[in-house]
Amino acid sequence: LQVDTPGTIGAAYGHPLLAVTGRDRFGLLGALRALPHALSVYPFGESLHYTDARTDAAPARVAEEVTVALAAGGFSDARAAPVAPGIEDVFMQRMQAS
C-alpha cells in the first residue's frame, strides 16, 4: 500500500482517532458505531479504536463528546482519549476504502 516510515504513514491518517476503554467492550463497540460521526470502530488491543468522520474536529474535543455520549448511554466507566494513528490504523482505513 505504501512504503515509508511508520510516523509518516500514521501522519497521513487525516481523522481524529481515539482509544476507548470500558468494561463492556461488546456494548461499547455497538454504541460507538451508532454515534453520528463514527467513521469506523474496531478492537485494538485492550481498547477500541474509534475514528471520527470529521476531518476538522479537534481530537480532544471529540474525545470529550464521545465520553459524554457513552456516559449518557449507560457506559459510565467508558473513557476516550486521542491516540496517534499507527500503521495498523492506516491499514484498516485503507482496507475499508477498497
pLDDT digits (tens, 9 = 90+) for 64-92: 999 999 999 999 999 999 998 887 777 77
Please, what is the angle between helix 25-33 and helix 59-72, to 10°? 110
What are the DSSP calls for 28-76, one per residue?
HHHHHHTSTTEEEEEEETTEEEEEES-SSS-HHHHHHHHHHHHHHTT-T
CA 43 to CA 49: how far, in whole Å?
6
Is residue 97 scored above 70 in pLDDT?
no
Phi, psi of 80 (to 5 degrees): -120, 135
pLDDT digits (tens, 9 = 90+) for 8-67: 666 777 789 999 999 999 999 999 999 999 999 999 999 999 999 999 999 999 999 999
Helix (H) or strand (E) holding 82: strand 79-82
